């Protein structure tokens, strides 16, 4: 998804705990990778999510779209009413 969006001219932020894997993904994108930016964060840590949201907006400006792929099938990644 990141490569397709970047190929269409979108600036893309990739957020993940694994910085090495995130940066490797950007590198594999070649020219399209110039439109993709990595931010390290932990989707299970509320403070990390809030801080990274601020960092992304500060670095990239306003956000037009969010594609949330965090968690997958991990029960720990679900949210509650709180």
In tens, the pLDDT along 21-80 reads 889 988 988 888 888 999 998 888 899 999 999 999 999 988 888 887 766 666 666 666
Give pLDDT, residue 72. 61
Give pLDDT, residue 73. 63
Contacts of 25 (CB under 8 A, 6+ apart): 2, 14, 36
C-alpha to C-alpha distance for 26 and 24, rounded to whole angstroms:
5
Give pLDDT, residue 39. 94
Higher pLDDT, residue 75 or 13: 13
Q: Which residue has the tokens 């490569």?
A: 3
**What are the two backbone dihedrals, phi and then psi, of residue 31, each rounded to the nearest 5 degrees?**
-60, -40
Q: What is the pLDDT averaged over residues 1-6? A: 86
Q: What is the pLDDT averaged over residues 4-14? A: 89
């Amino acid at each position: 998804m990141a490569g397709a969006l970047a190929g269409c001219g979108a600036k893309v932020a990739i957020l993940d705990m694994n910085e090495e894997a995130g940066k490797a993904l950007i590198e594999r994108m070649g020219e399209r990778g110039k439109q993709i930016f990595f931010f390290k964060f932990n989707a299970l840590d509320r403070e990390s999510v809030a801080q990274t949201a601020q960092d992304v907006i500060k670095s990239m400006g306003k956000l037009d779209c969010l594609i949330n792929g965090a968690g997958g099938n991990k029960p720990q990644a679900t949210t509650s009413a709180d």
